[in-house]
Each structure stands twice: as structure tokens, then as C-alpha cells.
């Protein structure tokens, strides 16, 4: 599943300009939309679908919440603290409404799905509650509110993929974009709320995915990230049991889909997230190896290094299976960077089991890891079946041990790049210094280098001279 790293990002002003233009060129209604997203990349991709739907209704997007007529917050339920952050935001807006009674506030995404009417009726925090499969219904939900009612749609769908909606790109750079390929998740990992909030897994028509990649390339984009909770289970015209649905039509699996996207143009980088250890096939790895423009970067969440814990987590693989997949990556795509997700302090986790996670980190040598303390989520299998019995201070100590080890290893890996030359897709000026440019290499590591005369969205070769545990530093070479 995807990482919870993009919290509280707002519509960027530059892109907002474009969105405004689009809105005013159709049928402006004079109203302004402020849209804020929390959580995983899928939420950010969904917000672009929401913006598209509402701009068609005449809304203009704004970056200034104070001038908004409609505020929509796309939310995340993955851990308790993600929800707490959003609740604080919603409480703020509630006070705003006292001074601006016409202001409409809506909650979208996973919290909408999980809490349903609670935010609306008990806590009276919002006017609209719209789950992840109900965004086409937003115009009528807004109408209901304008008619003086509260509005809710949290129906989950087995078919909705928003395949025909062209997302309005909300990032400012026009270089890299998310493209969703599946929605929902059927895996039922015992700690995870996603199957409850995002519903059953479904794949999007491959032709619409390739078409979206093509349009992005034509607009100047040079990188797409194919998104799904488990991209390896992408399947088109194939049933869950692996049978062909319609013999007269072609089938597509994830490896084939990636190849189709890679064929759009050799200068369009293809990334993907998230891979699942139980489903990632050698065919996928061979496809990555075959195409230069499919990035050598695999995010493969392990969650724990102990087989018993993995069993309780319902992950569908053992420590040995995971290590076998790592061996396959190192054999078939030797250049690949590997990152992971780890949960520490899961129900009943012993000290020895924690040591197994540390030893797995040492064995694999991850380039990067997202590391979390277990947070019990209502309704999940783990909440119903196991006790959240690891004390907070033990969770924290284990997390610190994991982070410390990972940081050391990340530093060693980055040091191994020093002296090498890497190909970087230029994103723009570095956040830390106006004199530096930044971009990512094929392996997804951030690279910074002194400014030269190149445009964003072009490729440069950078010779690495130095590094930190998270960044490579170098200079452009011919
Ligand atoms: N507690 C802590 N971390 C969680 N994740 C998912 N559910 C939980 C939870 N209840 C983590 C997993 C997943 C990542 C996106 O979030 O590591 O891969
Ligand atoms: Fe990812 Fe498992 Fe949650 Fe599905 S259930 S989104 S695979 S962690």
C-alpha cells in the first residue's frame, strides 16, 4: 500500500492559475473551491479527479482558504494521528462557519467512509460527507447543502475507477504525475483499515491508463507513477481466479500494463507503487529490466521480519518468501533500489520478533524505509482478534532502534554512489538553496547540484561527490 507522506498539501498557486483558466473558460459559477489532501498518493490523485468534476460545474480553485465558498478535505484513516490532524482542521473550519454561514465544508476519502454520519450528525463538523467512490455525486451533494440540508454518500462501488475523468493536475511543476490503475484492496491485512474505507479491488481499463500517460507526455510531463494499493494484482479481463472473462478481448496483467506505458515514449519515466511481496512476479521484474524508462525502484513493504507476526498480520507470506523476492530483485534488476514499510509493536510482538525485523533490515539493506508504530484501527481484524498490548514506550523504543539502524544503512548505500554518474530528471530549484537545482535519479533518491542552464523536465547527468543519509550531492557532467 502507499505511503503516508504527503500530508496537508494544498493546491499550488501556479497550477491553480491553470485550473482557474479552465474553470472560467467553461461555465463559471463565481464560486471558489479550496481543496486540501492528506495521506497517500491515491488521495492526491483522487483530489485531481474531484477538482475536474467541480471545475466542470463552474468552480474555480483557490489556494487561499479565506476566500473559499467550498472547502473540501480529502482525508486519511490509516493511523490515529492522521485522523487527529484532520479533526483539528475541521474544528477550525467549524468556527469559520460562524462568521461565514454560507461556507460549505466537506470531508472526502477514508475518514468520510469510516466515520460516515458521525462527523455530520453527532459532531456537526461538516456539511458534506463523501466516500472515495462517490465523487461523481459531489455536484448533487453540494446542491442538497445549498438547499439547506446535510449531504452524505458513502456507498462503495465494485466498478468505479473514474476511468473517463481527466484529472486536473494540481501540482505546480508539470513534470511528474500520479496515474491510478486500481482502486480498493482485497488483501485484508489485519492491521489495515483500507479495505473498509476504499472497498473492493478493481482495475481500470488499460487503454484509458495508456491514454492518460500519453496526454501527460504531450503536456510536457516526463514521469508517471502508476498507483494502486497492490499494483501486482492489476488485472484486466481476468477474474480473481485467473480465468479470462471475455475470450474475444485481450487480457492485461501488471507486467503487460507497465510495458504498454513504457512504450508511450522512451523519455517518459514509469514508476509504480505499491508492490506486494506475495504477488510480485518475476515477469514484473523482467519487464522492469527490459525497459530503460521503467525506474529501477521497488517499494516492497515487509511490515515485519518475523513469520509468526506476518501470519497474524495476514500478509500472505513468510520471512523466507520475502527474502526470496528480494533475491529475485537483486538477480533480475541488480540496479534496483528497494524501499519498505515497517510496523513495530504489533499485537503480541516479542523482543525476539522485533530482533527479527532488525536482522531483516540488516540482511536486505533497504535504500529507504517508512517506519511506523502500530496504531489500532476500529473494525480491523487485529482490533477484533488481538490485544494492542505493547506499551507505548516499548513501541517507541523499538521504532527508534529500527530508525537508527535504517538511517545508518541508508547512509552506507548513499555513500556507494559517490564517484558515480547518475541520470537525473530536473525538477527545479532546491528547497534548501536558490543556487542549487534538484531532481531524482532512476532509483528515486533526491539529487542536488549547483545551478546550470537547464530547464525543468529535462534529463542531466550528475556526478555524485557527496551525500547525506537522504540526499545525493553532485555536479552536472556532459
Ligand atoms: N498502524 C501503523 N501503520 C499502519 N500501516 C497501515 N496500517 C497501519 C496501522 N494500523 C502502514 C503500513 C502500510 C503503510 C502505508 O502504513 O506499513 O504499508
Ligand atoms: Fe496495503 Fe494490506 Fe492495507 Fe491492502 S490491506 S492497503 S495490501 S496494507
Closest CA to 48 of 104, 6, 3: 6
Residue 450 sits in a domain whose CATH number is 2.40.50.140
Query: Helix count (H) and strand count (E) of the chain?
Result: 14, 22
Q: Is residue 467 annotated as involved in ligand binding?
A: no
Mutate to test the pocket of ligand 2, among 79, 113, 191, 192 (most ligand atoms within 8 A of CB): 192
Question: Does the pTM of the predicted model rise above 0.85?
Answer: yes
Chain segment 182-225, per-residue pLDDT in tens: 999 999 999 999 999 999 999 999 999 999 999 999 999 999 99
| Closest C-alpha among 42, 45, 40, 38 to residue 8 | 38
User: Is any ligand 1 atom within 6 A of the Cβ of residue 258?
Assistant: no
Scan for cell 500519453, then name that residue: 214
Same domain, residue pair 193 and 293: yes
Q: Decide: 370 and 324 in contact? Cβ < 8 Å.
A: no
- Name the residue at shortest CA distance from atom 6 of ligand 2: 1
298 and 332 fall within a common domain:
yes
Query: 428: helix, coil or strand?
Result: strand
Does the C-beta of 402 come closer than 6 Å to ligand 1? no
Same domain, 293 and 354: yes
The one-character DSSP state at 240 is T
Cβ(301) – ligand 1 distance below 6 Å:
yes
CATH number of the domain that 39 lies in?
3.40.50.2300
> What torsion, rounded to 10 degrees, do the Cα atoms 129, 130, 136, 140 define?
-10
Question: What grid cell was written down for 225?
Answer: 507513477
Query: Is position 161 within any domain?
Result: no
For residue 353, is it within any domain?
Answer: yes
Q: Of the residues 3, 195, 322, which should be mutated to test ligand 2's pocket, given the most ligand atoms within 8 Å of the CB?
A: 195
CB of 380 closer than 6 A to ligand 2? no
In a domain? residue 13: no
How confident is the model at residue 26, as a pLDDT?
Answer: 64
Q: Which residue has cell 465544508?
A: 105
pLDDT number for residue 22: 44
Same-domain check for residues 339 and 401: yes
Q: Say whether 295 counts as a known binding-site residue.
A: no
CA of 303, closest atom in ligand 1: 17
**C-beta atoms surrounding 357 within 10 Å:** 26
- Residue 10 within a domain: no
Look at residue 72 and tell me if it is in a domain: yes
Total number of domains constituting the chain:
3
88/193 same-domain check: no
Q: Residue 299 in contact with residue 340, Cβ under 8 Å?
A: yes
Residue 7 in grid coordinates: 500530508
Q: Is 110 annotated as a binding residue?
A: yes
Candidate of 187, 191, 383 to mutate for ligand 1, largest count of ligand atoms within 8 Å of Cβ: 191
191 and 146 within one domain:
no
The x, y and z cell numbers of residue 11, run together, are 493546491
Give strand pairing partners of 162.
none
Please indicate whether residue 191, judged by its CB atom, sits closer than 6 Å to ligand 1. Answer: yes
Q: Is residue 169 part of a domain?
A: no
Range of the domain at 97: 18-153
40 annotated ligand-binding residue: yes
CA triple 270-272-277, angle to 5 deg: 140
Closest ligand 2 atom to Cα of 195 = 5
Q: Give the CATH number of the domain where residue 329 resides.
A: 3.80.30.20
Overall residue count recorded for the chain in this entry: 478
Residue 274: asked if its preceding bond is cis (omega within 30°), the reply is yes
Q: Is residue 314 part of a domain?
A: yes
pLDDT of the residue at 114: 95
* CB distance 236 to ligand 1 below 6 Å: no
Q: What is the pLDDT of residue 432?
A: 86
Do residue 101 and residue 240 come from a single domain? no
**Å from CA of 276 to ligand 1 middle:** 14
38 with 102, same domain: the answer is yes
Q: Which residue, of 122, 153, 184, is where some domain finishes?
A: 153
Q: What pLDDT score does 170 carry?
A: 85
Domain boundary among 416, 432, 467: 416
Q: Do 142 and 182 share a domain, yes or no?
A: no
User: Are 206 and 291 members of one domain?
Assistant: yes
pLDDT of 478: 81
Residues of the chain with confidence (pLDDT) below 50: 1-25
Any domain includes 453: yes
Same domain for 423 and 447?
yes
Is the CB of 60 within 6 Å of ligand 2? no
76 known ligand binder:
yes
Q: Examine the domain organization and report whether 317 and 181 are in the same domain.
A: yes
Q: Hey, which of 76, 194, 299, 302 would you mutate to test ligand 2's pocket, going by the most ligand atoms within 8 Å of its Cβ? A: 194
The residue from 102, 119, 153 where one domain ends is: 153
Amino acid at each position: 500500500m502507499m505511503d503516508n507522506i504527503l500530508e496537508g498539501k494544498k493546491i499550488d498557486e501556479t497550477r491553480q492559475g491553470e485550473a482557474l483558466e479552465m474553470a472560467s473558460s467553461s461555465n463559471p459559477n463565481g464560486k471558489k473551491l479550496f481543496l486540501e489532501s492528506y495521506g497517500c498518493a491515491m488521495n492526491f490523485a483522487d483530489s485531481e479527479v474531484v477538482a475536474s468534476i467541480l471545475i466542470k460545474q463552474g468552480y474555480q480553485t483557490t489556494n487561499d482558504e479565506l476566500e473559499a465558498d467550498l472547502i473540501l478535505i480529502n482525508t486519511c484513516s490509516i493511523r490515529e494521528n492522521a485522523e487527529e490532524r484532520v479533526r483539528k482542521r475541521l474544528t477550525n473550519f467549524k468556527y469559520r462557519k460562524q462568521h461565514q454561514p454560507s461556507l460549505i465544508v466537506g470531508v472526502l476519502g477514508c475518514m468520510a467512509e469510516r466515520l460516515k454520519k458521525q462527523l455530520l450528525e453527532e459532531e456537526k463538523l461538516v456539511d458534506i460527507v463523501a466516500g472515495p467512490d462517490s465523487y461523481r455525486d459531489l455536484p448533487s451533494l453540494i446542491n442538497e447543502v445549498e438547499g439547506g440540508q446535510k449531504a452524505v454518500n458513502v456507498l462503495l462501488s465494485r466498478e468505479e475507477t473514474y476511468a473517463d475523468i481527466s484529472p486536473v493536475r494540481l501540482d505546480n511543476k508539470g513534470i511528474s504525475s500520479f496515474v491510478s490503475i486500481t482502486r480498493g484492496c482485497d488483501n485484508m491485512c489485519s492491521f489495515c483499515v483500507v479495505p473498509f474505507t476504499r472497498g473492493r479491488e478493481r482495475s481500470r481499463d488499460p487503454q484509458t491508463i495508456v491514454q492518460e500517460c500519453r496526454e501527460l507526455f504531450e503536456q510536457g510531463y516526463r514521469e508517471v507513477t502508476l498507483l494502486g494499493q497492490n499494483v501486482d494484482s492489476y488485472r484486466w479481463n481476468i477474474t480473481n481466479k485467473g480465468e479470462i472473462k471475455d475470450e474475444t478481448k485481450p487480457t492485461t496483467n501488471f507486467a503487460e500494463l507497465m510495458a504498454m506505458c513504457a512504450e508511450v515514449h522512451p523519455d517518459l519515466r514509469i514508476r509504480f507503487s505499491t508492490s506486494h511481496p506475495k504477488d510480485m512476479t518475476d515477469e514484473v521484474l523482467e519487464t522492469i529490466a527490459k525497459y530503460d524508462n521503467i525506474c529501477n525502484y521497488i517499494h516492497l513493504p515487509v511490515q515485519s521480519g518475523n513469520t509468526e507476526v506476518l501470519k497474524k498480520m495476514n500478509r500472505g507470506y513468510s520471512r523466507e518468501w520475502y527474502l526470496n523476492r528480494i533475491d529475485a530483485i537483486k538477480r533480475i534488476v541488480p540496479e534496483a533500489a528497494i524501499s519498505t514499510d515497517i510496523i513495530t509493536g504489533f499485537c503480541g510482538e516479542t523482543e525476539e520478533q522485533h530482533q527479527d525485523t532488525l536482522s531483516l533490515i540488516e540482511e536486505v539493506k533497504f535504500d529507504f524505509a517508512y517506519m511506523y508504530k502500530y496504531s489500532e484501527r476500529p473494525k480491523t481484524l487485529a482490533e477484533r482478534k488481538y490485544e494492542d498490548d505493547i506499551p507505548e514506550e516499548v513501541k517507541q523504543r523499538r521504532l527508534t532502534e529500527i530508525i537508527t539502524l535504517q538511517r545508518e544503512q541508508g547512509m552506507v548505500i548513499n555513500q556507494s554512489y559517490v564517484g558515480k554518474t547518475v541520470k537525473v530528471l530536473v525538477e527545479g530549484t532546491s528547497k534548501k538553496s536558490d543556487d542549487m537545482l534538484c531532481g531524482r535519479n532512476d532509483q528515486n533518491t533526491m539529487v542536488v547540484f549547483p545551478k546550470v542552464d537547464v530547464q525543468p523536465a529535462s534529463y542531466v547527468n550528475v556526478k555524485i561527490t557527496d551525500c547525506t543519509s537522504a540526499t545525493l550531492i553532485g555536479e552536472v557532467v556532459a
